[in-house]
Structure 1
Amino acid sequence: MAKLTQKILRRLGDRPAKLAFGVTNMAPVRRRLEQRYAAALAGHRPALPILSPSDQDIVDTLSRTGVYVTSLEALGIPGSAAMFAAAQRVAADCTDMARRLSDAGRDFIVAPPTAILAHDEIFHWGLSSRLLDIAEAYIGLPVAYDGLALIYTVANGRGGGAREWHRDREDRKMIKVAIYCCDVEPGGGPLQVISRPDLGQTDANGYRYAGGSEEELTSRLGADYRDAVVTCTGAAGTVVFTDTARFFHRGQPAHTHDRTALYYSYFARQTRHPFFCQRSGLNPRQLETLALGMPPRQRNATLWARSLHPVLKIIPPAPV
């Protein structure tokens, strides 16, 4: 039965998610969602975490420019050394696989979920109370933790996919925390962010996730948008906080050397587009296993999909 279900879902592809997106983007539905969102933000405001000055600076900078660059050393989150060493081992183990897949024409290459399960310290690092506080203070609501992906970018110079300018579709606002597992220099596929928010995308106006062509970027961000491009180079251990929902971004095509990076994802637990989430590749049973023994806040963030409306639960997530 499970195999039959998987076969059906593969045939459907992203059609159920696109249909659901179309419904939620209809004007009457948008108005209702906007009202509920505003009420939720106002209701949760008194409960928002109080941040240290340095963490508040991360939130304030994200609000202005959509990107904040630091390092694991500067953050000083407990468990960072063990997490980073494990991530580098996983990245090294994926090298041959990634290059074979790249030679076969695949551009978006992610370490298999089994590798993350074998090194659960990588997964648990993203549930640090401090990271959840930063995400909650920025998003304004209790947060969902959508896990992580270790992305391997082969230096083949190709564009396409995540190497083109785009915005992520999970929610109105979100945070991704990127951690470079190797030195990333110009030509090595650095993350780039256009530090101007796409203000036209709201519940009032509707959501449209067109690709970031020259015409599209000029129309949305101004003819001088290139002046706002931030290129995030850095040594291994560099950490980039960015709002990938409000700001156009891309992984610049890599020419000189391969790039490996972790990407941790956070958005509102009652996210606007749950059918565009669940990107880690971990299935519900694996998430349950990882969540065993977690404190309530971390467990609720990990198992956020449980709190969805029953109708939303039956819509399969769009494939990556």
Structure 2
Amino acid sequence: MNRLGDKPAQLAFNLSNTPLMRRRLGRRYSEALDRHRPSLPKLDGIHREIVEGLERDGIFVTSLDALGLPGSAEMLRAAQKVAGECTERAWREASAGREFICAPASATIDNPEIFHWGLNDRLLDIAEAYIGLPAAYDGMSLIYTVADGTELGPRQWHRDREDRKMIKLAVYCTDVTDRGGPFELISRVDTSQGVDDRYAFEFGTEEVLNKRLGPDYSRDIVSCTGPVGTVVFADTARFFHRGAPAHDKDRAALFYGYFANRTRHPYFCERSGLKRREIAALTQGLSLRQRASALWHEALPPWLRLIPSAPV
């Protein structure tokens, strides 16, 4: 199956965009939202502000201190240790032309506090309230951006393909300046995406952005600079975003992913690098809600579970 690359995922995606499947998937999605609306978490304080910010702007910036979630200090210390261990390898891989550099999955297994932090009930509440359905947790990746100024892969404007709506939660493990690879998002919805439940994904070249967002799109670019511990909530499915090129200093950041538990495109998910049996082991002893969120693929129809995830 590995030799097939992303062909099975692309075939499934193309089938999901046929008129008959679009109508069927769209109808089921609307019905699921209606059924679950009375059960959505009731939020207050900063947690409500985060959801309102996502609905209004597609992005909300805060900090670990402001969130006040248990285990944050331990998570950040472990992530910074992993980032430090990645530095030499990251520069070596960047010099060889690799576009996307992240810590190996073994780092998650060796530091489970990083993985478990993303399953905090408050974070699941935020994701569920915004997405409108129980949230699937797609784990986390520590992305290392070397300060070589290149603009490749995720440093280009793009949208994530996992679902109709989703949340990527970034935690900065280093100080990030405007020339240090800040996360950026264009706070302007592309109204052509998802029309009649049809989806297309392409990099946001100047031509594409002008056509889809308007020639003045740069007015709505939000650049998220901040010190260690800065937290960025963003809908990376509905909005073009990127990690800006780093020029002055390497950037290390954790990225946690959330989408609906019956995501539209499950074959574009599972980005953490962990095997399903490893995720099951990491969730031993957690609550039923946390395990269901992390093991979301178990609720998929059998034929969807058989489609291998497209490589990153």
What is the identity, as a one-letter code, of the residue corresponding to 1:31? R
Structure-2 residue corresponding to 1:83? 75
Distance 2:284 2:158 in 1: 36
What is the identity, as a one-letter code, of the residue corresponding to 1:284? R
1:174-213 matches, cutoff 5 A? 174-202=166-194, 204=196, 206-213=198-205
Q: 1:10 offset after TM fit, Å? A: 2.6
CA contact (8 A) 1:30 1:203 kept: no
Deviation sequence 1:80-124 (CA, Å, 0-9, x none): 000000000000011111111111111210100101110100000
CA contact (8 A) 2:141 2:255 kept: yes
Q: Are residue 237 (structure 1) and residue 226 (structure 2) matched?
A: no
What is the identity, as a one-letter code, of the residue corresponding to 1:76? G
Deviation sequence 1:34-82 (CA, Å, 0-9, x none): 0000000000000000001321111111011111000001111010000
Q: 1:203 offset after TM fit, Å? A: 5.5
Deviation sequence 1:196-233 (CA, Å, 0-9, x none): 12222125151010210111111111111000000000
Structure-2 residue corresponding to 1:4? none
Deviation sequence 1:147-204 (CA, Å, 0-9, x none): 0000000111111110000000000000010000000001111000000122221251
Deviation sequence 1:261-297 (CA, Å, 0-9, x none): 0000000000000000000000011011001111000
1:13-52 matches, cutoff 5 A? 13-52=5-44
Distance 2:167 2:251 in 1: 21
Distance 1:72 1:53 in 2: 15
Distance 1:125 1:281 in 2: 17
Structure-2 residue corresponding to 1:125? 117
Distance 1:181 1:103 in 2: 22
From 295, 305, 310, the counterpart of 1:313: 305
Distance 1:160 1:119 in 2: 29
1:144-293 matches, cutoff 5 A? 144-202=136-194, 204=196, 206-293=198-285
Q: TM-score, normalised by structure 2?
A: 0.99
Structure 2: runs of 5 or more not aligned: none
Percent of aligned pairs with the same residue?
Answer: 58
Distance 1:232 1:291 in 2: 32
Deviation sequence 1:14-34 (CA, Å, 0-9, x none): 010000000001111001100
Off by >6 Å, runs of 4+ in structure 1: none
Q: How many residues align?
A: 312
1:141 to 1:205, Cα distance in 2 relative to 1, 3 A: closer
CA contact (8 A) 1:176 1:266 kept: yes
Stretch deviating more after TM superposition (57-66 or 118-127) = 57-66
What is the identity, as a one-letter code, of the residue corresponding to 2:179? G
RMSD (Å), alpha carbons: 0.8
Stretch deviating more after TM superposition (172-181 or 207-216) = 207-216
What is the identity, as a one-letter code, of the residue corresponding to 2:285? G
Distance 2:47 2:279 in 1: 28
CA contact (8 A) 1:34 1:203 kept: no
What is the identity, as a one-letter code, of the residue corresponding to 1:23? L
CA contact (8 A) 1:107 1:153 kept: no
What is the identity, as a one-letter code, of the residue corresponding to 1:191? F
DSSP-derived class of the 1:312 partner:
helix
Distance 2:290 2:114 in 1: 14
DSSP-derived class of the 1:127 partner:
coil
